[in-house]
């Protein structure tokens, strides 16, 4: 199994990013025969338009992934733009990409439906994503349910190219990530940067505690029993608690006679302890930028070698190279 996944550096990672995807990406590096993970800075250009900000977010994303457990001895980590072969492969795919197929893709379609202007980068986003996947002969792509369409687009583009020019690309399959852990934001809605309701993985513990204490809760009196299954504060607590802790907290909710401040304090302590080792690793990596550059450089070299082979195969198939 060859796994490929990219993460956009559009902001610092929050709990939703980690429990929704990153934790599972890291677990997959133990199962995969080969794993490629990249920081999708070219994709991020569709939303981040400040050069210094984009570069800092890119480096922060790399450090965060390493601190959270991505092992460069078991997985290849690199920056998307360090593999220019992917951009050239994107053009080969784009020459055969039907307009109608791209017009039906969610990101472009949703933005147009809201009456917002969409640039060519957003429109062609799925083709670059297809090039990202196909460049490494990836057969497994871990995605959330909302991203399955992009893998289908990749398969369509690859199959069309193969039909036109002969067998060239491996057709990838989506590995839909386990989504049993719902990650609500501080307002109870889905945790998302666009909603401004996130709790960052590497937030300063004191500031994190303040954010947690400000989480919106209902106004039921302390003595009233409460249903844990429908409470977003309880759902956040369950992300970090073990089975025994979850059971005890659920009993407390159903019994009543407690304040939400108690739950918030317990959540703050569990969350801080959960990421303490990752926070220490991050501090070490941040203090040694040469190590981070070497990891990204080695990853890019390996990725370029593979992508160059695939690109040449595609160029020969379509007649760009003899």
Q: Which amino acids are annotated catalytic?
A: 111, 190, 193
Which backbone phi and psi does 241 adopt, to 5 degrees?
-80, 155
The C-alpha atoms of residue 262 and residue 213 are separated, in whole angstroms, by 10
User: Could you tell me if 130 and 154 are in contact, meaning their C-beta atoms sit under 8 angstroms apart?
Assistant: yes
Helical ranges in 71-189 per DSSP H:
85-94, 99-103, 106-113, 120-134, 148-165
Sheet holding 173-176, edge to edge: 76-79, 34-39, 2-7, 140-143, 173-176
DSSP, res 142: E
Cα-only R_g, the chain: 22
Asked whether 3 and 142 are in contact (CB, 8 A), the reply is yes
Strand partners, 39: 7, 79
Q: Which residues contact 277 (CB under 8 A, 6 or more apart)?
A: none
CA 196/CA 115 separation, integer angstroms = 22
Token pair in block for residue 115? 């009456």
* Nearest-angstrom CA–CA distance, 226 and 253: 5
**DSSP state, residue 80:** G
């Amino acid at each position: 199994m060859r796994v490929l996944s990219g993460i956009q550096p559009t902001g610092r990672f929050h709990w939703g990013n980690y429990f929704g995807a990153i934790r599972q990406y890291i677990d997959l590096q133990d199962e995969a025969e080969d794993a490629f993970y990249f920081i999708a800075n070219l994709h991020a250009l569709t939303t981040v338009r400040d050069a210094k900000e984009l570069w800092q977010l890119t480096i922060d994303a790399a450090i965060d992934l390493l601190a959270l457990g991505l092992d460069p001895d078991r997985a290849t980590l690199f920056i998307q733009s360090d593999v220019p072969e992917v951009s050239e492969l994107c053009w080969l795919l784009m020459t055969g990409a039907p307009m109608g197929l791209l017009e039906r893709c969610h990101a472009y379609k949703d933005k147009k439906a809201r009456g917002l202007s969409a640039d060519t980068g957003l429109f062609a986003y799925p083709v670059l994503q297809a090039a990202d996947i196909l460049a490494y002969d990836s057969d497994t792509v871990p995605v959330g349910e909302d991203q399955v369409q992009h893998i289908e687009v990749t398969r369509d583009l690859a199959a069309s190219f193969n039909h036109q020019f002969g067998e060239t690309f491996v057709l990838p399959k989506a590995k839909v990530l386990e989504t049993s852990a719902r990650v609500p934001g501080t307002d109870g809605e889905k945790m998302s940067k666009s909603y401004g309701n996130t709790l960052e993985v590497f937030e300063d513990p004191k500031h994190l505690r303040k954010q947690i204490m400000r989480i919106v809760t209902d106004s039921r009196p302390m003595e009233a029993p409460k249903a844990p299954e429908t409470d977003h504060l309880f759902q956040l607590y369950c992300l970090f608690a073990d089975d025994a802790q979850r059971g005890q907290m659920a009993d407390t909710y159903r019994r009543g006679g407690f304040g939400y401040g108690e739950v918030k304090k317990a959540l703050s302590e569990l969350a801080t302890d959960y990421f303490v080792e990752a926070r220490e690793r991050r501090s070490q990596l941040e203090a040694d930028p040469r190590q981070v550059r070497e990891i990204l450089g080695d990853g890019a070299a390996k990725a370029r070698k593979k992508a160059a082979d695939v690109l040449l195969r595609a160029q020969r198939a379509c007649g760009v190279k003899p």
